[in-house]
Amino acid sequence: MCVPACKQKIARDLGRRGFLRAAAGVAATLGAAACVPSAQLVQVATTTILPAAGLQSFSHVVDLTHTLTTDFPTFGGEQQLEIDQLMTLASDGYNLSVWLLNEHTGTHMDAPFHFSDGPSADQIPVQNLIGPLAVIDIRSKAEADPDAQLTPDDIAAWEASYGPLPDGAIVAMLSGWDEHVRTEKFRNADDQGGMHFPGFHIEAIEMLLGERNAVGIFVDTLSLDYGQSADFAVHYRWLPANKWGIECVANLGQMPASGATVVVGGPKIAGATGGPTRIFGFM
Amino acid sequence: MCVPACKQKIARDLGRRGFLRAAAGVAATLGAAACVPSAQLVQVATTTILPAAGLQSFSHVVDLTHTLTTDFPTFGGEQQLEIDQLMTLASDGYNLSVWLLNEHTGTHMDAPFHFSDGPSADQIPVQNLIGPLAVIDIRSKAEADPDAQLTPDDIAAWEASYGPLPDGAIVAMLSGWDEHVRTEKFRNADDQGGMHFPGFHIEAIEMLLGERNAVGIFVDTLSLDYGQSADFAVHYRWLPANKWGIECVANLGQMPASGATVVVGGPKIAGATGGPTRIFGFM
């Protein structure tokens, strides 16, 4: 909760920034999904039957989420999170902050709506946020070449060892890049500003869409597309196909290649094109 | 990701609001946890052993999260979320928004740091975010009296039916209030502005702290304390004891009183006093 004194402080704070004035312009620019009348957004309580993976038992969990800080690296290189602590324990008796957050910051979701008129983050069916994890390890080739991409051959090699990708799979690219998250190598920009980090190859996406039944993909880098992509082919093919992706996933190296289940706590904000997401891996 | 043109737009947008200037004041007011040098925040990959509940098998899931909209009811009555869509599919080739968000909005966490110098949301151990759910149903007395509170007698009645609260339990107050979330009755303010909705009684909190081993509590209302609380006794006793709470939980009526496990996808933002949280109930 936010005790009474708080709302005045927030009003002052937002007023100081002009946010209350800016808010008038928000409605006009909101995406369609965010304009759905609230009445249509009342929770309809439903029980969802889990995919087979949901029937498994687990004894261990890995947090696949980076801690998001105001200086967390971003695709564009600009700061995308600001935190303003409005209330402090010493002065106000409790701590409370306001965030100014670009949805695509930290370990975050790209919803279909990010690159299409498809579902926003809040509209993704729950059963598509829980599924069997397939970790495809391309660390060796990524270490040799930061422009490496996850190809159909990498998927085939995984299947040769672990069998066909399960229905409803969440397919993760393990490039080892999360180890660079607090160094310049995470963006790995060259003198011209071009970035060099791994991503999915468009042919691997076509394979997943045409010949498999995956619901989402993970990358441990800043983009579903590799850093040198000039056309964001993966974003423009995968997301409009009513699929989602997660960028900047952490700790994939701690997960087994096969047999684990992930729970993807995506943002449930109306009209969100994505947003910070808490992800747990169970095994 | 956020394509190149985006960062300039964001810079313009933030500049227009004075947020970049305001940011200079942020560091000075940030909570201690948020001031931890980034180097100390690098993910240390660890595998956590789950409590016993983690060993169960599940076939169904319930989304215990309300869809957050800009007009979602708040404790103070003021708007606490603004969404500014910076990029649109039609004009820019993709959709992207920035949120201005008060941490304590929608289905959200109160971290120990909200009312103490204890752990911020990102510092709560993962094993304390996954646990057996105990749903204590006070709907009948809440329907008769909106100022009803969950008391030690209600906990004792639950235990008489289902046995002792399990270690690491997450104890939920089911008042039925989530059905009012899109009506005035959710805040239920009287002519003087005082609110009338259920919450935990301080004696129930003392019982949980002194005689049981619960890690967190859920309420389906706007506050851990009941609406008429003058002193926020529950917040000031529970959170400083290194415990967390979730306010505005949805769909608890769809969960069994005992036997389910919940996964609490709390925000992993450094120094967060809480924040929107995605919660799934498994059974």
pLDDT digits (tens, 9 = 90+) for B46-96: 677 765 545 467 788 999 999 999 999 999 999 999 999 999 999 999 999
Place of tokens 């006793």: B237
Q: Is residue A121 a contact partner of residue B62, using CB atoms and an 8 Å limit?
A: no
- Cβ contact, residue pair B43, A178, below 8 Å: yes
Is A268 close to B39, i.e. CB distance below 8 A?
A: no
Distance from CA of A141 to the nearest CA of B (A): 22
CATH code, domain with A139: 3.50.30.50
For chain A, the domain total comes to 1
Flag residues of chain B having pLDDT under 70: 1-46, 50-56
- Closest of B106, B113, B36 to residue B274, by C-alpha: B113
Question: Residues near A264 by Cβ (< 8 Å), separated by ≥ 6?
Answer: A109, A129, A130, A170, A216, A246, A277, A279
C-alpha–C-alpha distance, residues B66 and A122, integer Å? 10
Tell if the CB–CB gap between A98 and B98 is shorter than 8 Å: no
pTM for this structure?
0.86
Structure letter (DSSP) for residue B273 = S
Q: A22 pLDDT exceeds 60?
A: no
Q: Which of B213, B279, B270 is nearest to B33 (CA)?
A: B270
Distance from CA of A9 to the nearest CA of B (A): 11
Residue A35: the pLDDT is 25
From the list B2, B18, B178, B223, the residue with the least C-alpha distance to B100 is B18
The parent domain of residue B257 ranges over 4-282
- Given this model, what pLDDT does residue B48 score? 72
Which residues in chain A are closer than 8 Å to B88, comparing Cβ atoms?
29, 31
Which residues, 6+ apart, have CB-to-CB distance to B45 below 8 Å? Answer: A62, A250, A251, A253, A254
Q: Which residues between 99 and 128 in chain A have a beta carbon less than 8 angstroms from any beta carbon of chain B? A: 99-104, 106-107, 110, 113-117, 122, 126-127
Please name the member of B41, B101, B225 whose beta carbon is closest to the beta carbon of A98.
B101
| Element spanning A203, H or E | helix A202-211
- Give the model's pLDDT for residue A58: 79
pLDDT at position B50: 64
Q: In Å, how far is A210's CA from the nearest CA of chain B?
A: 24
Q: What is the pLDDT of residue B73?
A: 98
Cα B18 from Cα A280, distance rounded (Å): 37
Window 171-230 of B: residues touching A by CB (8 A cutoff) are 178, 181-182, 222-225
B192 Cβ neighbours under 8 A, 6+ residues apart:
none
- CA distance linking residue B281 with residue B133, whole number of Å: 8
Q: pLDDT digits over A174-204, tens only?
A: 999 999 999 999 999 999 999 999 999 999 9
Strand partners, B87: B96
Q: How confident is the model at residue A57 (pLDDT cuts 50, 70, 90)?
A: confident
CB contact under 8 A, A130 and B61: yes
Q: Do A78 and B19 touch (CB under 8 A)?
A: no
10 Å Cβ neighbour count for A113?
A: 30
